[in-house]
Chain A
Amino acid sequence: MSLENFTVMRHELLLTLAFLVILLTEVFTGEEKKERVRILAVIIFAIVTVVGFLPLPEGSIFGDMFRATRTTSLMKNILNIGTLIVFIQSYSWLGRAENRDRIHEYFMLLMTTLIGMNFMISAGHFLMFYIGIELATIPLAALAAYERFRNRSAEAGIKLILSSALSSGILLFGLSMIYGTTGSLYFSEVAAAVRDMPLVILGFIFFFSGMAFKMSLVPFHLWTADVYEGAPVNVASYLSVISKGAAAFIFIIILFTVFPIIIATWEKTIWVIAVLTITIGNLFALRQKNMKRFLAFSSIAQAGFFLLGFIGGNQLGMTTVIYYALVYIFSNLAAFGVVSVIAEKTGRESMDDYDGLYRTNPGLSIAMMLAMFSLAGIPPVAGFFGKFFLFVAAAEKGYYVLVTIAVLNTIIALYYYLLVVKAMFINRNEAPIEPFKSDSMSKLGLAICLAGIIVTGFASSIFEMIRNLSYGI
């Protein structure tokens, strides 16, 4: 193995390097300069993100346990973009006095989870995949409990670690069955040995359940709302987009490359889970008053929409899943960004507090409105294109009933997204949120999201680029 081989791990290595730089500055900066780490981390991460886009040699190392293709590289880049936005959005929150001694930890933990996700996506072996998933999950629990002086934050951390330990257990149990029947954990060998027999199906169902936990699909979604509500806003936003996106990416890769033989089974499973997830996520979101819980349930419903791209096993399906993940990152981060700014400045996060927001803070309201429209799939913003193409992908395989259920659900979803718009634009309020100026980093974060929301839809070249890197069964 020569040094060149390591360049296929460029994303992971760069992140590790960035991680070490942050660690070293932690050691060598004095107490009073610790705040500057924030800007350093953002800059380093921006560089990592940009470098990620340079052309990359494809290949595999560690005896095919780690595989890098242009597709995985694209997925990692998308996650990088999202994480960069989260970093930018966390900037002012980290400046608080109580967080000052733990700024390094925040960045290091986030980068660690991202490294885990990258390994997970690039895995060519179930063991590597499992290590990646654990590396991605455990630091997240620490992050959820980041504001440890708040009971709810600590509670969120415990809930996350317990439920993900359970889901990992289920996942491993499923993998052990698959190993028992196929005699291997290599993706390629498992794919060749998988047969349509009961034990494999059972193993697959356990594996599926484990992944469903990570993607918070119904009925494995119960941890989501509590964790999002308790965790700091920026961690919740990271959980809802990056963590979920990474899980969706590796899930679709495994379904398409490892389990194509039993597609008949998993299509039925996904059909049922998709309907449940979209419907139940929507129905619960209807009555939420806390913005974070609201976004949590909306993100459960959104995860259900991802499944529409899974179901056909076609190239278009994978394209739309990746595309929708990109759109979803921009839209959801914009929504969380606004919630974060308002929570940061005023400490208010109930939907009623947003009444009359437009009259005091028009810029934030417009940003929120565009984010809501994008999540609801209203043109001309990118969410419309994302949803439309997801539906096309499912319809291509003839799943018209599923598509019909899904589009009718978008109407329910539209109702609660419009409730937010209504609060901001239509409702009157005796004591609205005071006008305030957001700091430049929050503005930058929102600006990136909004640019993404608008450009990703109209620029068809992004879609075509993703299409060229996607594959079907």
Chain B
Amino acid sequence: MSILTWLVIIPLLTITGILFVKDARQAKIVSAFGMGIQLIVSAVIVYSYVALRNAGVTDEMVMISSYEWFRSLNIYYTVGVDGISVAMIALTSVVVFAGIFASWEMDDLRKEFFISLILLATGVFGFFISLDLFTMFLFYELAVIPMYILIGIWGSGPKEYAAMKLTLMLMGGSALLMVGLFGIYFNSAPDGGELTFNIIEISKITIPIEAQRWFFPFTFVGFGVLGALFPLHTWSPDGHSSAPTAVSMLHAGVLMKLGGYGAFRVAMFLMPEAANEMAWIFIILTTISVVYGAFGAIVQKDLKYINAYSSVSHCGMVLFAVLMMNRTAMTGAVIQMISHGLMTALFFALIGMIYGRTHTRMINEMGGLMKVIPFLGVAYVIAGLASLGLPGLSGFVAEMNIFFGAFEHPDTFRRVATIIAVSSIVITAVYILRVIAILLLGSIRDHHFDLLDDAKWYEKLSIVSLLAGIIYIGMAPLHLSDIIRESVMPIVDKLL
């Protein structure tokens, strides 16, 4: 069995373990233990991937293993990774690990919470390793549905509304996606022969252009919903602000990346001609996402809403970069996924921790928190600086690549779009610095806040594991981009 399959098996074993433990304390220990192992396995996978590449293996996908499933429909359970998926796996395992520790002090139905959370993670891991569209789709839906329960039970605010809206919109996206997948499947053998769901096989043939024109929008929009493509992003602010901490972390940090990842791995990679033809529509939409999300964040007063809108902006940037279809921008897109994943997870973790202490998320009700909870405060500042693209942190590397790559295009349309999108950096600086000023600096607004405790050990563990990623990518970006760059090539080559 390939080591990749363990990424699905370990979470399932962990869930089974949680089912059999007696109390909630043991449940969280089992979860932390299981996800710790998951983290180690992911590290081993990254290491062996790099070793394979250094040994001169040039296959598009490595560590492939394949089991026949539904023979008559040619459906296989096929797993394999390239640099992009390896990077996403590493991101996911870090965020899940941090998420477990961020929800160390849950009350109410804790066993169920960890089971749902890890089930969600199972779907995400499965999605990133799948090379078969059917299995990929299965894992995709598996990742979405636990959200309903997670937000509905443990959320806050208008949680029932938010949970239903999020689930229905995302499943609506997956409904469109399903039609797109059928289109791909039934056109996967234009010269006769056996139909297939296998991504590598399909990428070797050319799907007839008429079919591409029909099914590319279905597939791209289907994934785009999860990637917060304007105007289908409205689930994101409501969903993220109502979700409990760990769920916001996982959702904004990882789940939204499924959208970006799917958009180029499936929609654009398999239907490149249609992607080229229709890119302009989606470039307009994603440019709106980027700028609109940033402006949206400026006017919000609730910390979670600010971060949710900022996620719309940053995830829009991923799709924007993907549509630029060159090596630099694509590499930037993947780095942005990783960087935003870590950063936004950190934000949501910190917001959850601050909220747990102050019992409010309204920024104008807080102030001067840096004096009482310096650890959380400093972490918030670092996350903020990464978000606005300060050199030395991960955000800079990502945005640099994206905008540099986007501007490489000679045509005016893309350059104008790039210029508009770049303006979001300035707007981001405005809302980030505004929050930091009101929230952390100045005088303490409420004397109750004098008594607040700083981060506990498990909170520190959660924060540090995310911070380490952000700083590492910022300081040594080549380690990451070397892994990604080679794997971006096959996709870019098909698109040109």
Binding site for B on A (CB under 8 A): 316, 319, 373, 378-380, 384, 388-389, 391-392, 395-396, 398, 400, 403-404, 407-408, 410-411, 414-415, 418, 421-422, 425-426, 460, 463-464, 467
Contacts and interface: CB of A to CB of B under 8 A. Distances in A.
Given A392-B73, A408-B175, A400 B149 contact: no
Nearest to A389: B73
Contacts of A400: 179, 182-183, 214
B179 A410 contact: no
Interface of B: 69-73, 75, 134, 137-139, 141-142, 145, 148-149, 152-153, 159-160, 163-164, 167-168, 171-172, 175-176, 178-179, 182-183, 185-186, 214
Query: Lowest 10 CB-CB distances: which A-B pairs, in order?
Result: A407-B175, A395-B182, A426-B152, A379-B138, A460-B70, A411-B172, A467-B72, A379-B142, A379-B141, A460-B69
A396 B72 CA distance: 13
A425 B186 contact: no
B149 A421 contact: yes
A392 B182 contact: yes
A421 B164 CA distance: 11
A400 B167 CA distance: 24
A267 B149 CA distance: 40
A414 B168 contact: yes
8 contacts: A316-B73, A378-B141, A379-B141, A384-B138, A392-B185, A400-B183, A414-B167, A460-B70
Nearest to B141: A379
A392 to B, nearest CB: 6
Contacts of A373: 145
A337 to B, nearest CB: 22
A398 B185 CA distance: 12
A460 B183 contact: no
Contacts of A384: 138, 141
A246 B148 CA distance: 35
A414 B171 contact: yes
Contacts of B214: 400
Given A400-B182, A400-B214, A408 B141 contact: no
Contacts of B70: 460, 463-464
A403 B172 contact: no
A384 B73 CA distance: 15
Identify which of B137, B139, B141 gathers the most chain A CB atoms within 10 Å of its CB: B141
B168 A407 contact: no
Given A373-B145, A392-B182, A411 B138 contact: no
Given A426-B152, A426-B163, A464-B72, 5 more contacts: A378-B141, A379-B145, A392-B73, A411-B175, A467-B72
B138 A380 contact: yes
Contacts of B138: 379-380, 384
B168 A415 contact: yes
B160 A422 contact: yes
A46 to B, nearest CB: 30
A351 to B, nearest CB: 15
Nearest to B218: A404
B72 to A, nearest CB: 5
Contacts of B149: 421, 425-426
Contacts of B160: 422, 426
B164 A418 contact: yes
Contacts of A319: 72
B382 to A, nearest CB: 36
A411 B171 contact: yes
Contacts of B72: 316, 319, 463-464, 467
B178 A425 contact: no
Contacts of B75: 460
B171 A403 contact: no
Nearest to A407: B175
B182 A422 contact: no
Given A378-B141, A411-B171, A415-B168, A425 B153 contact: yes
